[in-house]
Chains A and B, each alone.
Chain A
C-alpha cells in the first residue's frame, strides 16, 4: 500500500469509543500525532500526557507584575513627584494594595491571553487547518503521521478499535 498521503485518520462516534481506541493504540506503541474532539476530553489529555504550563506562566506574570506595579507606585509617589495627602506618608503602602491587586489582575489577564494566543496559535485572521469538519460537531478523530507508524498494524488496530471510518489525507 504505497501512497503520498501524510496522515491516517481514525474517526470515532463517541468519547468512550475514542478512549477505548486511544488506550488500545497507545498500548501498541502507536503514538497519535494529534486528536481532535468537539469538547475537551480530559481522560484523553491525560493519556497523551498533555499538560499546559500556562498556569505557571500566569503565576510569574502576577509575581513580577506585582513587583513592577509597586516599583512604579513608589517611583511616581515618592521619588518623582511626592504629594502630601492629609499628612499620609508618601509611600502609603497599605492603601497601595488595592490598586496593586487590580493592576496585577489586568497584567495577568493580558499576558495570559497573549501567551494562549501564541502557544495555541489562535489569533485573529488565522486560517484554520481543518482536518475534518465534523470534529467541531460530533466526531472524535485520532490522527497519525503516516511516515512514523507501521501502516498495516495501524489499520488493523483501528479496525479492531471499531473506528467508524479510516481516512488518509
Chain B
C-alpha cells in the first residue's frame, strides 16, 4: 500500500495526460541541442585530451611523474577516488532507499541520479587502477588460479574488499539504471518517426512490450536489486573508509570512519543530484516534472546530512582531546584546526557544516541560483574533506624526519581534470540520447495527483 500526504502537494504539475508525459520527456532525446551543449562538449573534450595526455605520461613514465613520495604515498589520486566514489553514491542511494521506502517523489529525479552514479563510479574506478603502478597487471588482485603458487589474494585486506565492492557497485548501478530505462526505450521506439531512431531504440529496448508478465518480473527484479544494493551502498563506502581506518596513522585510526564516510558520500552525491536537476529543469524547461517541491526535498535532506557531517567533524575534535592521544591531538589541533593545513580544514568545515545550514530558510531553498551555488560549494567542501584526511595525516606522521610537503604535479591535476571531462561528457551524452526522467514511473504517479489532489481524470488520453 502506498501513502501520500496532502502536505507534499502534486508530484507533477500541469494536469498532464499520459501521452503528454511521453512527449515532454522524449522531446529532447535525439533532438538537436542548443549551443550550450556543443560549448560544454568542447570544454569537456579539452579536459579529456589533457587527461589522456596525463594518463599517457603516467603509463609510460610511471608514478614518478606524480609528487607522491614515501610519506605522502597517497595524494590527489586517492583524494579524487574517494571524492568521485562519494558522488557516485547518491544515485543509487537516492533511487534505492526511496524505492524501498515507497517514496513516489523519487520518480522525477532517480534517472538522472542513477546516470550520474554510473559516470562518477567510472571516473572513480580509474584512480585505484592507475595507482597500482603497473595497471596492466590489475587482474592480479582478482582471486583466480594462477601460476604464482597459486598465490591467492589476502581476503583480510580492505584494498581487496574495495576492488570487489567497487566492481559489484559499478555492475549493480549500471544494471539498475539500464533496467529502469528499458520500458522508456520502448516508448521512444514506438513513438519514433525515423527508421534509424526506431532501429536504435528497438535494439536498446530488448524486445519490451509492456505485458503484465514483463511488468511483474520487472518490478520483482527492481526490488531485489534495490534491496541488495541498499546493503552495498552502505558497505562500499564503509570499505573505502577501512582502507584508512585499518591503518595506525593519526587521524585515520578511528571507528567513526565508516558511518562518517557513508554519510559524507551521500552528502556529496545528493549535492551533485541537486546541481544536475537544477540544470535539467532549467535547460529543458521540465518545471512541471522537477518541481520546486522536489528541489526543496533535496535541500531538506542536505541540511539534515550537513548536521551529521558537522557532528562528525566535532566528534573528531572531541575524541582527539578526550582520548589523550598526543599524536591525534597534535594532528587535529596543530595541523588541521590551526597550522599549515588550517585553510583546508576550515574550508571543509564551512562548506560542509555551515553553509548548507542556509537551507533552513525556505527563501534560500526556493532560490535556485543560490541552491545551485550551495550544491557546488558542498562538493568543493567534500573535496577538501578528503584532502584533509589524506594529506594532513600522511605529511605530519609520527616522526618529524618524515614530514614533507605535498603539491600535485601538472600530471596529477591533468588526471583529475580528465575525469571531470569524462563525467561531463557522459552527462552531456545522457542529456541528449536518454530520457532524463523515468517516463513510466512518472506516469505511474499521475494517479496520486488524481486521488490526492482532486484533479479529475488527469491521466487519461481522453477528456
Which A residues contact B (CB, under 8 angstroms)? 13-15, 17, 34-41, 44-45, 48, 50-52, 54-55, 58, 62, 72-73, 76-77, 80-81, 83, 85, 88, 92, 95-96, 98-99, 101-106, 108-110, 112-113, 116, 119-131, 133-139, 164
* CB neighbours of B152 from chain A (8 A): 76-77, 80-81, 83
* CB neighbours of A116 from chain B (8 A): 179, 217-218, 220-221
The reply to whether the CB of B447 lies closer than 8 angstroms to some CB of chain A is yes
Does B210 contact A36, Cβ atoms closer than 8 Å? yes
The reply to whether the CB of B129 lies closer than 8 angstroms to some CB of chain A is no
Which of B184-192, B318-326, B385-393, B407-415 contacts the other chain? B184-192
Contact of A52 among B156, B172, B175, B220 (CB under 8 A): B220
Does B156 contact A88, Cβ atoms closer than 8 Å? yes
Count of chain B residues with Cβ under 8 Å from any Cβ of A? 67
Residue in B closest to A72 when the chains form the complex, CB atoms = B143
Inter-chain CA distance A90–B452, complex, in Å, is 60
Q: Distance in Å from the Cβ of B95 to the closest Cβ of chain A?
A: 15
Does A109 contact B217, Cβ atoms closer than 8 Å? no
Which B residues contact A (CB, under 8 angstroms)? 17-19, 22, 143, 149-152, 154-156, 160-161, 164-165, 167-168, 171-172, 175, 179, 182-183, 186-187, 189-191, 202-203, 205-221, 223-225, 228-229, 231-232, 235, 239, 440-441, 443-444, 447, 457, 459-462
Pick from A50, A54, A92, A133 the residue with the most CB of B within 10 Å. A54
Q: Distance in Å from the Cβ of B40 to the closest Cβ of chain A?
A: 31
Does A40 contact B156, Cβ atoms closer than 8 Å? no
Does B217 contact A133, Cβ atoms closer than 8 Å? no
Q: Identify 6 new A-B residue pairs, CB closer than 8 A, beyond the known A45-B216, A124-B203, A137-B19.
A: A40-B216, A88-B156, A98-B235, A105-B168, A109-B228, A124-B206
* CB neighbours of A135 from chain B (8 A): 190, 209-210
* CB neighbours of A95 from chain B (8 A): 155-156
* CB neighbours of B171 from chain A (8 A): 106, 109-110
Q: Distance in Å from the Cβ of B347 to the closest Cβ of chain A?
A: 33
Residue in B closest to A129 when the chains form the complex, CB atoms = B209
Inter-chain CA distance A32–B340, complex, in Å, is 74
Pick from A35, A45, A51, A122 the residue with the most CB of B within 10 Å. A122
